[in-house]
Chains A and B, each alone.
Chain A
Amino acid sequence: MKKGVLRDFLILLGIAVLLLLTGYYLARKIWDSGADLSYKVSYEQEDKLGEGLSDLVLKQFTALKNRTADSALDQITGRLINALDSSRYRYQFVILKSDQINAFTIPGGNIFVFSGLIEFTESPEELAAVLAHEIGHAEKRHVVSRLVNELSIAVLLSGLSNGDPSLVARILKEIIGNGFDREQENQADQFGLRLLERARISPKSLARFFERLETKGLDYDESLELLMNHPHNSKRIDQARRFKTKNDFQPVPFNIDWKKVKKSIKE
Chain B
Amino acid sequence: MEYYPLPQPAEIPEREKEDAMGAYLMMFAAVAIGLPLPIINLIAAIIYYYINRKKSRFIHFHSLQSLLSQIPTTVINWGLVIWSVGILLRENWKLTPEFWGYAIFAGTSTLLYFVFSLIAAYKARQGRMYYFLFFGKVAYEAAYKMVPEKPGESSEPANKPPF
Contacts and interface: CB of A to CB of B under 8 A. Distances in A.
A touches B (Cβ under 8 A): yes
Interface of A: 2, 4-5, 8-9, 11-12, 16, 19-20, 22-28, 30-32, 183, 186, 235, 239
Contacts of B101: 20, 23-28
19 contacts: A4-B137, A5-B134, A20-B101, A20-B102, A22-B105, A23-B102, A24-B97, A24-B98, A24-B102, A24-B104, A25-B101, A27-B98, A27-B101, A27-B103, A27-B104, A28-B97, A30-B97, A32-B97, A239-B92
Interface string B87-102: 0000110100111111
Contacts, number: 61
Interface residues of B, number: 20
B134 A30 contact: no
Nearest to A32: B97
Nearest to A11: B133
Nearest to A28: B97
B108 A8 contact: no
A11 B134 CA distance: 9
B108 A27 contact: no
B109 interface: yes
Given A20-B105, A235-B92, A31 B133 contact: no
Given A8-B137, A25-B101, A32-B97, 8 more contacts: A2-B141, A5-B138, A8-B134, A11-B133, A20-B101, A24-B98, A26-B104, A27-B104
Contacts of B102: 20, 23-24
Q: Secondary structure at chain A's binding surface: helix, strand, loop or mixed?
A: helix
Contacts of A31: 97, 100
A6 to B, nearest CB: 9
Contacts of B99: 27
Contacts of B133: 8, 11-12
A27 B103 CA distance: 9
Contact of A23 (B94, B103, B134): B103
Interface in B133-153: 133-134, 136-138, 141
Nearest to B134: A8
A123 B130 CA distance: 77
Contact of B105 (A9, A23, A186): A23
B109 A16 contact: yes
A22 B104 CA distance: 9
Contacts of B103: 23, 27
Contacts of B97: 24, 27-28, 30-32
Interface in B5-37: none
Contacts of B138: 5
Contacts of A20: 101-102, 105
Determine which residue in B98, B101, B138 has the highest number of CB atoms from chain A within 10 A of its CB, and name it: B101
